[in-house]
């Protein structure tokens, strides 16, 4: 499969990486402003653009523009963490393209809690190809977590009578035409 970046010369790849890194730093700064200081800028025009506008605004607003400042718990609790997550999606590829894999090494260090004996979480191959073996390992754990059945004591039920049916009972009732 031919990728767009594989045909570009190395200086162009490094320029794209520097741009991604700069955007990542901008999102990191916006995350700091939102999470710690509790403020972010948004555009108060057409609603669909208003929702995504905090991610599109990177420069201070001009006098008399539709860009407004939002302060409050929404910024602390929702927008700030989302900015930090967004910053990593720009910082890691940017560093990988500029410094040849430094972003992935840092991400593996963070995801493995600085333990080099653990298997790598992300595998990078130039110019911009990633594999995520952590997802396969985590999928088994998440599967165990979500497939576990929790015992419910019938004496503490909020519903009157025996409202629960086993899977076999429900299938046999459905086959017979009962509810």
pLDDT per residue as tens digits for the range 55-82: 888 888 888 888 888 888 888 888 889 9
Mean per-residue pLDDT, 146-151: 77
CA geometry: angle at 130 spanning 127 and 134, to 5°? 160
Structure confidence at residue 164 (pLDDT) = 57
Three-class SS state of 105: helix
Copy the structure tokens of residue 127.
């110019």
The pTM of the whole model exceeds 0.85 = no
Structure confidence at residue 130 (pLDDT) = 82
Strand partners of residue 125 = 129
């Amino acid at each position: 499969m031919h990728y767009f970046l594989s045909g570009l010369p190395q200086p162009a790849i490094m320029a794209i990486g520097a741009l991604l890194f700069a955007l990542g730093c901008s999102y990191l700064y916006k995350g700091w402003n939102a999470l710690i200081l509790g403020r972010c800028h948004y555009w108060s025009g057409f609603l669909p653009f208003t929702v995504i506008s905090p991610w599109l605004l990177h420069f201070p607003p001009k006098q008399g523009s539709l860009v407004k400042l939002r302060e409050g718990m929404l910024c602390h609790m929702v927008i700030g963490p989302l900015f930090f997550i967004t910053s990593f999606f720009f910082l890691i590829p940017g560093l990988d393209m500029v410094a040849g894999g430094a972003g992935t090494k840092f991400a593996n260090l963070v995801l493995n809690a600085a333990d080099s004996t653990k298997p790598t979480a992300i595998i990078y191959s130039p110019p911009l190809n990633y594999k995520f073996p952590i997802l396969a390992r985590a999928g088994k754990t998440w599967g165990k977590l979500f497939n576990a059945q929790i015992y419910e004591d019938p004496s503490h039920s909020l519903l009157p009578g025996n409202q629960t049916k086993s899977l076999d009972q429900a299938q046999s009732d459905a086959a017979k035409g009962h509810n």
